[in-house]
Chain A
Amino acid sequence: MRNYFFRKFLFLGALLLSGFMQAQMISGTVSDVNGPLPGANVLVRGTTNGTTTDFDGKFTLSEVPSDAVLHISYVGYVTQEVSVAGKSVINVVLAQSADELDEVVVIGYGTKKKSLVTGSISSIDESQIESSSTQRIEQVLQGKTAGVTVVSSSGAPGSGAKVRIRGTGSNGNADPLYIVDGMKVSTIDNIAPSDIANMEVLKDAASAAIYGTQGANGVVIITTKRGKKGQSVISYNSQFGIQSVRTDMNLMNASQFVQYMNEAGQNQVVDNGINTDWIDETFQDAFVQRHDLSFSGATEKTSYYLSGSLLDQEGIVGKENSGYKRYTLRANIVSELKDWLEIGANITYANTNQSPITEDDSYRGVVNNVLLIDPLTPVIYDGALPDRAAEGVANGTAMVTKNGRVYGYPTYSTGEVINPVGYANYVFRGEGIDTDSFLTSVYAKIKLMEGLSFTTRFGYERANMIDNRWTPIYVVGAEASNTSVSLAHDIDRNSRWLWENFATYTKEFNDHSLTAMVGYSAEKIKNPYYSLKGGSVERSIDEFAYFDYTARANDVIGGAIYEKNMTSIFGRLSYDYMGKYMVEGSLRYDESSVFPKSDKGDLFPAVSVGWVLSKEDFWKQDAKIDYLKLRASWGQNGSDANLEGNGDLEFWQTVASDGGYVVPVIYEGVGGYNVGDLANPKLVWEKSEQFDIGFDLRAFNGKFNFSADYYNKETKDLLITDGNLIVPGSVGRTLGPINAGTIENKGFEFEAGYKDTTEGGFTYGINFNLSTLDNETTDVSVNAALNGATIPGGEPVTRFEEGHPVWYFYGYKTNGIDSQTGAPIIVDTDGNGTITNNDKTEIGSPHPDLLYGASINLGYKNFDFSLNLQGTEGNDIFAAYHQPSRPLTNKPVEYFNGRWTQPGDANAKYPGASQINGYYDTDLMIDDGSYMRIKQIQLGYTLPTSIVEKINLKKLRVYISLDDYFTFTKYNGLDPEAGSYEDNSQGVDRGFYPIPGKALFGLSVDF
């Protein structure tokens, strides 16, 4: 009661005072660059007189003294103070806050202020994505943040990339878990980068532990855009460009090839006057265009974001034959339906169409054949056809252009090697891989009482994929022919639903702040698939490439289903005292259908702590360092990727899967049984345990920031899908997935940035990140090394072995070339006096020691400039595209220039021409794969507001960009970013589609 009177008295006093000071009515609008800001706080400094802006960003305040100062604030914006100075209308434009500590980061099942984060989380926001000219989300991550490796599986349009967070922690599928708007997704193919508001990468175990069995390889959380209140925006982005191959690789030319082959004793090889540069001929300039259109806005209670996008990218090999098209539609709606109920829905439909050509194949890849075919073969015949081609035309087995001209048959190369231009343009037919995907998540958030809310969220994902291809008749040689039209369709119908329910309770009392979250979820994956094969149609044209018109009798159909179910219970408790001391703990219990009956589930704990030193009393207020936080975390995660389930049961089947094909057990037309894999009831989750310690620092009034982390991540009971790798042949049985051993990844991560604006209005920012990576297999469950990738001839060249990097390169070490014989000198590593298979050893590692990225952003007046680069140091590449069975094949020119030619030749790097064939499993095939690539150089111009407003626009920016244009490397292959789909083939170059350089012109308009 006393209090009441006191306040009333104060109020009266203020009223009196303001009257005395000529109090007046003030109105105005608060906005940001995009438009009005509803809900901004406007307060007369030093008083309780304040209000918030309405839906149109307008406010009115009465009784404001003429010399008062208005304090205007809004979350995420820099607070401004404006002197009234007698004015009655005050319009304020707020700038977005540069203070990242106030930013909110998305964590699993919630959000958190960046200043309170105790784990290692990197954020990539809209502005970094918007200016990026990339076509896929994974590429946005490349080089942007420490500890994240993005390896392209291929430069082919539409192909994915492998994202590795803190090294290769797993085998098989070491991809991170992707969460899009709360929904676990199996692919991010169908998300247009322009729809993304921000991405968070959860790197440490404690942050990812809330995702339990699926968090071991890190988590990438993607949040798509929402409409903003008071800002009805129509936004259109468009991009056009030309892609081209940007390689420094040179193969031997015709005269070099002839000389090399003659020296090798292949005297039938003679110069025929033809000199084809197959790299130039096969890789052509190709077009790319992208269009994004979005409508967004919000009313008082409801926000919406609607968008559509189109991407059309031709391939630099075979143009549309290796092209990619993506169409997406999205609707994001959030509504505060009641004061206690918020509902939201994110709905996406996407259609993608990809036409892959064969690559990453040492025998039959188009790119492989570019590297192997002799330069004495013409691309297309001019004039009279040689007998072989004439015969091919007569028999209808020649590869011909659309105009009926004949692609050159290899003059000398034999076997699987064929004309790659013909291969790319003639052989691949059909619609390609056409995928319709639908992704939706809907949620309801109920405020049960102050501080307590309950969220139920249901996500559903469905992808219907039809891979429709056919192969025409062609006969180039015995091993390179298709003597009847063959049709192949694969149909996959993948679906997943995920239902999550969680309650969050937040309580603040005195200086303590507490957030507790508990929840449970269930999910089901159901992927039926079908395959159809048939052939022999009347005519070798698209119009006959349907199963109605095949010979029918030999059509083969197949299909089965993959299912996986999981339930989880999870919880997290976060506490902080004065924002100074933070502690967080989480627990998750998962049960999954893919594990043995006896051991369906497991518990994943995590704990992390943080201490903001700069908030301590002893911290000098005038210190150059204005923020310093120490962090430490520990946690366990799991992985069940790639498991089929029921590995604990012994069973029989009417089919066998030898050689990777499911084939009925039939002998002389009679059906039989095959005994399945050995039962493995001891199969357990792959468990990764990670310790992380680091600090975040900001100095010079927030202009400089620096973070450092050390982590040590141990993956135990590593899952390997092919258990046969541990079974000696004499056991005579096959084995499914196994727990194969332990991998350790450790390293340091540094991120530094500096940004400022000079008085002349010049803004600049520099960011740099660096990670070290030390990868080692510390234990293998059997007393042996496991073999991985093989090269033609069957020799294994990658291995999984204790004390070595994961899937290191394995082969013979050489010590120069014998100056007398021209043969490489193989090192007798076991010292037994003879060279045997046991002398093979570690000859390289595909894992870099260092990864780095940097960006420079400059802005002056209406111009902006950015440069992003990214690189690796210390990784090797194994050239596995050579084919020892086919000696009449080409090689990089270095093999010619560096070869031994005659006795006494002491400085040869490569063996004599007649010797090379036996040494494809030696370290001569290892090259330094370090590279530095300028991912993007972009120059933009934003039209001045005065001009833009005249043409009724809000914003107009144009830019030109060179993407992936400049690469610095010592690697003599096509592209140092030689990726692979298989983890055990990392860095094994069998002929990859190189990443094209792109010269782009872009335009973005806001209405």
Chain B
Amino acid sequence: MKKIIFTVITSLLIFTSCSDDFVENPPTGTLDTEYVFSTEENVEKAVLGLYDLMQYNYAKDWHSAYFVKLLPGDDANAAGGNAGDQAQLQDIDDYANVSISNTSITSNWDLFYRVIALANVIVDNVEGSSLSNKAKVLAEAKFMRAWCYFELTTMWGDVPLRLHNPDVVSPEAFALAKSPRTEIYTQVESDLTEAITGLPDKSAVSENFRVCKGTAQALMGKVLVFQEKYSQAIPYLAAVIANPAHDLEPDPANVWTIGSEFGIESLFELGYISTEGYDWGSFKWGGRVESNAHIILMGTRDFFDVAPVGLLNGWGFNLPTKKLIDAFDAMGDTERKAATLMTEAELIAGGGAVKEPAENIWDYEGAIRIKYTTRASDTSPEGTVRELNYTTNWRLLRYAEVLLLAAEAYNKDGQDGQALIELNKVHERAGLAPLSGLTGDALFNAIVNEKFLELAHEGQRFWDLVRWGRAATELAGTGYASKNDLFPIPVTEIELNDALTNADQNPGY
């Protein structure tokens, strides 16, 4: 009897301990979609996720979109430790062997679509809601979506246009064919139209890092100029120019320094901060970090003694070309040049040194870069791990570019007088005497040259050359071929997206 009782008790115990929900473990640290879209405050946090992803994409370890966009230009060389250092970046710089599996190009592609997908979820969930901040949230999300599609079509041409995320996991749901660039532009314009309506004026944004009406107008202008819709572009660009909330930073020396971050010239800027205080143990390579780790990649290598000029060493990428140095000199541009680069002679005059023969330094053509460099003042204080805590912000869109886009639009639209006015604003800010008497192609050439210098090392040059049809001449002898006008679509996209085949690969890859 005892044993029966024992057995029965044991059986009962285990059955009672195993209620139905025993095999349910609620997830930890998660919020359901309903919660996220239930209040104005929560939706704002979802929108903040867009900024966080943008911040990630433009400074991710060795794959920053900032650098990838910049590399094919004739303003900068990849440089680095040697000719083989980060081969995927050298390949883009040298136009040769740009592989369909290039990891940096793939990273950019994937992360632009990550931003788009997050924007899609926000748009899909907010559109039917009655939240009081609905218009602003939609505007901000659609701006980000427009920005990324514009970047995608600039760098890859025709791309899949995904506006709603798949709701099931299957190859069929993931498959999406490419849309022609014209359709991408149409969607970008549509999103920007809504963004312009919904976004507040710069003077009224809640946090200085947020995009404003002017940002959307400027991007709309740029998108239209890229489509050669000059007359349509002018009103948008003019609206930004006319708005007193936007203007040039008066001193060219301050345009790219931390003192002017999110300042008057800034239209769209990605922020980086040092408050996390990373050290080599806590830094997260390839993760979403808050500091701009890409700066150490682009600091001068230890071939250079740069401490006397207030800089720290880095890993040596992103050096100016001789062509850029010469262009500054040809224009007699000293102030803007000083804010952009420093020649070897200037470095030595400042107490620095070049410790290796120049020919041993890969991709070095006589100057180091000053714009977005490893300034000791831009990172955490001495005694901390300063290499990992740069706070340098990327200015992705600024007033000077709007002026130059406007100048281009006016020039192409036959309004050379107005074009020269806008051009001279930039030219004079550089400390140069105003240009005069230029019209037509001569004026256009002046705009091109001005933009080369003003936006050097900012990732605009190559894409401008391509749309102007000037790449073949300007890049002659560099290894450039017309196939380089577009990046290859990542092989993973072609393999995994069932609507794409090798025939959809960009020409020449």
Residues of A that sit less than 8 Å from B by CB: 268, 340-341, 414-415, 444, 446-448, 454, 456, 471, 477-479, 481-484, 486-488, 499, 501, 520, 522, 533-536, 551, 553-554, 556, 560-561, 563-567, 591-594, 597, 600-601, 645-646, 649-656, 658-661, 663, 665-676, 678-680, 682, 723, 726-733, 735, 738, 781-785, 787, 793-796, 836-838, 884-888, 917
The contact string, 1 if C-beta is below 8 Å from chain A, for chain B 24-46, is: 11111111110110000010011
Contact of A676 among B30, B168, B276, B302 (CB under 8 A): B30
Closest residue of chain A to B97 (Cβ to Cβ) is A918
CB distance from A565 to the nearest CB of B (A): 5
Q: Is B495 part of the contact surface with A, judged by Cβ < 8 Å?
A: yes
Pair B22/A522 contact, Cβ less than 8 Å: yes
- Complex Cα spacing A617 to B504, Å: 73
- Given contacts A565-B23, A732-B118, 7 further A-B pairs with CB under 8 A are A446-B3, A668-B207, A728-B493, A729-B493, A785-B495, A793-B88, A884-B87
Contacts of B498 in A (CB 8 A): 782-783
- Complex Cα spacing A838 to B118, Å: 32
Contacts of A675 in B (CB 8 A): 46, 49, 117-118, 121
Pair B113/A729 contact, Cβ less than 8 Å: yes
Contacts of B17 in A (CB 8 A): 499, 522
Pair B32/A668 contact, Cβ less than 8 Å: no
Contact of A650 among B23, B28, B33, B110 (CB under 8 A): B33
Pair B27/A672 contact, Cβ less than 8 Å: no
Contacts of B113 in A (CB 8 A): 729-732
Contact of B48 among A536, A661, A673, A838 (CB under 8 A): A673
Pair B31/A653 contact, Cβ less than 8 Å: yes
- Complex Cα spacing A535 to B384, Å: 9
CB distance from A844 to the nearest CB of B (A): 19
Pair A682/B287 contact, Cβ less than 8 Å: no
- Complex Cα spacing A502 to B9, Å: 14
CB distance from A887 to the nearest CB of B (A): 5
Contacts of B88 in A (CB 8 A): 793-794
- Complex Cα spacing A484 to B240, Å: 47
- Complex Cα spacing A874 to B287, Å: 39
Contacts of A551 in B (CB 8 A): 277, 384
Contact of B278 among A444, A554, A645, A733 (CB under 8 A): A554
Pair B7/A732 contact, Cβ less than 8 Å: no
Chain B residues 457 to 509 lying within 8 A of chain A, measured CB to CB, are: 490-493, 495-498, 502, 509
Q: Is B437 part of the contact surface with A, judged by Cβ < 8 Å?
A: no
Contacts of A564 in B (CB 8 A): 25
Would A730 and B52 be within 8 Å (CB), given that A268-B360, A649-B32, A782-B171 are in contact? no
- Complex Cα spacing A533 to B280, Å: 10
Closest residue of chain A to B15 (Cβ to Cβ) is A520
Pair B159/A730 contact, Cβ less than 8 Å: yes
CB distance from A918 to the nearest CB of B (A): 8
Q: Is B301 part of the contact surface with A, judged by Cβ < 8 Å?
A: yes
- Complex Cα spacing A723 to B81, Å: 35
Contacts of A884 in B (CB 8 A): 84, 87
- Complex Cα spacing A665 to B118, Å: 13
Pair B282/A535 contact, Cβ less than 8 Å: yes
CB distance from A783 to the nearest CB of B (A): 6
Contacts of A650 in B (CB 8 A): 32-33
Contacts of A565 in B (CB 8 A): 22-25
Contacts of A554 in B (CB 8 A): 276-279, 282, 384
The contact string, 1 if C-beta is below 8 Å from chain A, for chain B 79-116, is: 00111111110000000000111010010011001111
Would A478 and B314 be within 8 Å (CB), given that A565-B23, A674-B49, A837-B101 are in contact? yes
Pair B286/A645 contact, Cβ less than 8 Å: no
- Complex Cα spacing A587 to B265, Å: 72
Contact of A885 among B27, B61, B87, B385 (CB under 8 A): B87
Contacts of B288 in A (CB 8 A): 656, 658-659, 661, 663, 665
Pair A732/B115 contact, Cβ less than 8 Å: yes
Contacts of A679 in B (CB 8 A): 169
Closest 10 CB pairs of A and B: A732-B117, A672-B48, A486-B281, A659-B286, A554-B277, A794-B103, A661-B287, A732-B113, A659-B287, A784-B495
- Complex Cα spacing A781 to B162, Å: 23
Pair B99/A837 contact, Cβ less than 8 Å: yes
Contacts of B278 in A (CB 8 A): 554
Q: Is B284 part of the contact surface with A, judged by Cβ < 8 Å?
A: yes
Q: Is B14 part of the contact surface with A, judged by Cβ < 8 Å?
A: yes
Pair B165/A731 contact, Cβ less than 8 Å: yes
Closest residue of chain A to B101 (Cβ to Cβ) is A837
Pair A477/B302 contact, Cβ less than 8 Å: yes
CB distance from A346 to the nearest CB of B (A): 19
Pair B46/A652 contact, Cβ less than 8 Å: yes
Contact of B14 among A488, A499, A726 (CB under 8 A): A499
Q: Is B273 part of the contact surface with A, judged by Cβ < 8 Å?
A: yes
CB distance from B361 to the nearest CB of A (A): 12
Contacts of A553 in B (CB 8 A): 277
CB distance from B371 to the nearest CB of A (A): 21
Closest residue of chain A to B122 (Cβ to Cβ) is A675
Pair A486/B109 contact, Cβ less than 8 Å: no
Pair B45/A671 contact, Cβ less than 8 Å: yes
Closest residue of chain A to B115 (Cβ to Cβ) is A732
CB distance from B376 to the nearest CB of A (A): 14
Pair B160/A730 contact, Cβ less than 8 Å: yes
- Complex Cα spacing A509 to B207, Å: 86
Q: Can you report 28 residue pairs joining A to B where beta carbons are below 8 Å apart?
A: A448-B4, A448-B7, A456-B7, A478-B313, A478-B314, A478-B316, A481-B280, A482-B280, A499-B17, A501-B14, A554-B276, A593-B25, A594-B25, A663-B288, A667-B55, A672-B47, A678-B169, A680-B169, A682-B169, A729-B106, A729-B493, A730-B162, A731-B113, A732-B117, A733-B166, A782-B496, A794-B101, A886-B81
Pair A885/B115 contact, Cβ less than 8 Å: no
CB distance from B141 to the nearest CB of A (A): 12
Closest residue of chain B to A503 (Cβ to Cβ) is B7
Contacts of B116 in A (CB 8 A): 732
Pair B279/A535 contact, Cβ less than 8 Å: yes
Contacts of B18 in A (CB 8 A): 522, 567
Q: Is B56 part of the contact surface with A, judged by Cβ < 8 Å?
A: yes
Most buried by B among A652, A782, A796: A652
Pair B280/A484 contact, Cβ less than 8 Å: yes
Most buried by A among B48, B51, B106, B315: B48
Closest residue of chain A to B80 (Cβ to Cβ) is A885
Contacts of B275 in A (CB 8 A): 669
- Complex Cα spacing A448 to B5, Å: 11
Contacts of A793 in B (CB 8 A): 87-88, 103
The contact string, 1 if C-beta is below 8 Å from chain A, for chain B 155-171, is: 00001101001101101
Contacts of B29 in A (CB 8 A): 560, 653-655
- Complex Cα spacing A659 to B383, Å: 28
Would A663 and B118 be within 8 Å (CB), given that A536-B384, A554-B278 are in contact? no
Contact of B11 among A501, A601, A660, A837 (CB under 8 A): A501
- Complex Cα spacing A444 to B2, Å: 13
Closest residue of chain A to B380 (Cβ to Cβ) is A554
Closest residue of chain B to A801 (Cβ to Cβ) is B495
Contact of B82 among A414, A534, A593, A730 (CB under 8 A): A414
- Complex Cα spacing A600 to B24, Å: 9
Pair A665/B279 contact, Cβ less than 8 Å: no
Pair A414/B81 contact, Cβ less than 8 Å: yes
Contact of A649 among B27, B118, B284 (CB under 8 A): B27
CB distance from B291 to the nearest CB of A (A): 11
Contacts of B276 in A (CB 8 A): 554, 556
Contact of B36 among A673, A730, A795 (CB under 8 A): A673
Pair B84/A886 contact, Cβ less than 8 Å: yes
Most buried by A among B28, B30, B46, B496: B496
- Complex Cα spacing A488 to B314, Å: 25
CB distance from A699 to the nearest CB of B (A): 47
- Complex Cα spacing A392 to B313, Å: 16
Pair B14/A520 contact, Cβ less than 8 Å: yes
Contacts of B447 in A (CB 8 A): none
Pair B23/A567 contact, Cβ less than 8 Å: yes
